[in-house]
Structures are given as C-alpha cells and as structure tokens.
Amino acid sequence: MSTATGLRVILGAGGQAWDGWTPTQREHLDLRDPASFERWFGERRADAFLCEHVWEHLTEQDGQEAARLCFSYLKPGGFLRCAVPDAHFPDPDYQQMVQIGGPGPADHPAADHQVVYGYREFVAMFEAAGFEVDLLEYCDEAGRFHYHGWDVATGPIYRSFLLDHRNRDGNLGFVSLIVDAYKPEVAGSEN
C-alpha cells in the first residue's frame, strides 16, 4: 500500500503494520523519553514518522516536547504525519468517547486521554517546534469537515476519511485531525 522509502517509523504503532514502515512501540521509542530515541536511532535520522492517535495520550507540555524531539530526529525535508481525535467534530457520542479521561474503565484505550486538540492548537504546537504544517483533515469551529485530498499511499492513517470503515455511503462516522508537519530543508532551529 505504501510507496515509502528510507527510514520510515511508526510511533506508538500498537497493532498497526504498513508496508515500508517500521512499527515501534512505546517500549522502543517513548515520546516522553529522549534517551529512548538516542538509543534507537544512534546517528540515524528518520525520513518520516507516522503517529496515529497517540499524541492525545501526552499532556500538552509533553506533546510540545515530543514535537521538538521528533523534529530533531527527522532528516531535513522529512515529515511527521500525526493524527488525533478532533475537538470540533460535532458528534456527542464521539466527543464522549475521546474526552479527557475517556468514557469508561481505566483499561479503556481512551482512559488516559490528556488533551482533545482543535486544529489551531495542534498546528501551533508543531509550528512552535520548527515545523511547517499542512492540514490534511480537520473540522473547523463550525463543525464543518475539511478533507484536503492527501495521498494515503504516502503514509496511511486508518482513522481517516477514506480508510475508516465508519465512513461509508456518505456517512461521516469517525474523523481525525490529521497534519503533516515538515522539517524545513534548511531548519531554522536545529536542536
């Protein structure tokens, strides 16, 4: 499915496996632990990161630091494709499911949600880390869904307009806020 080349890494992959991508778990690459990146990457740098429904498990501050961490382990011109639940999707059941703390028992996947991002805060977080950001899918403040015709072959996000089984037959059942965060070819703030 993927036309991926180079070192392309899935962060917090869980059960995800896409051709051309190296899945990693928190035990390998922990977004809250720079030393885990140092150990795993050594002198290498990634061409791309893919990260689906992970960032909402980090606090806002940890998310900001994780953005800087990913920036420093990407090659210039590389990108982080990152998807999270969308604060502006106007479906009460969805918002209940993705809310901070999650809807139910402690072992529910959403139980440790720390943040529910809207597109403005999410973009601003990556821009503050030095990225240039392209919005691929998001809802605006009026709840209107925007899909920017991106190519899933360059890095699939399952919970997306085209791939998610809940979005069929004109039904928009489950969306994500999805961005591509690019590290500029000539980086302004290498760290």
Ligand X SMILES: C[S@@+](CC[C@H](N)C(=O)[O-])C[C@H]1O[C@@H](n2cnc3c(N)ncnc32)[C@H](O)[C@@H]1O
What is the C-alpha to C-alpha distance for residues 149 and 137, in angstroms, rounded to an integer? 9
Residue from 30, 86, 137, 180 that binds ligand X (CB under 6 A)? 30
φ, ψ of residue 68 to 5 degrees: the values are -65, -35
Does residue number 180 form part of the binding site for ligand X (CB under 6 A)? no
CA dihedral sign, ordered 191, 181, 115, 54: negative
Does residue number 31 form part of the binding site for ligand X (CB under 6 A)? yes
Q: Which two tokens stand for residue 92?
A: 């009460």
Where does the chain show beta strands of DSSP type E? Answer: 8-10, 22-23, 46-52, 74-84, 132-139, 145-147, 177-182
Q: Which is nearer to ligand X, 32 or 68 (CB)?
A: 32
What is the C-alpha to C-alpha distance for residues 17 and 170, in angstroms, rounded to an integer? 28
Q: Which two tokens stand for residue 22?
A: 């190296």
Q: Which two tokens stand for residue 17?
A: 């496996």
Q: Which is nearer to ligand X, 136 or 140 (CB)?
A: 136
Residue from 48, 52, 69, 178 that binds ligand X (CB under 6 A)? 52
Q: Which is nearer to ligand X, 37 or 131 (CB)?
A: 37
Q: Which is nearer to ligand X, 11 or 116 (CB)?
A: 11
Q: Which is nearer to ligand X, 17 or 141 (CB)?
A: 17
Residue from 22, 32, 121, 154 that binds ligand X (CB under 6 A)? 32
Does residue number 14 form part of the binding site for ligand X (CB under 6 A)? yes
Does residue number 98 form part of the binding site for ligand X (CB under 6 A)? no
Selection from 152, 151, 119 nearest residue 135 by Cα: 119
Does residue number 13 form part of the binding site for ligand X (CB under 6 A)? yes
Interface positions with ligand X (CB under 6 A): 11-14, 16, 25-26, 30-32, 52-54, 57-58, 109
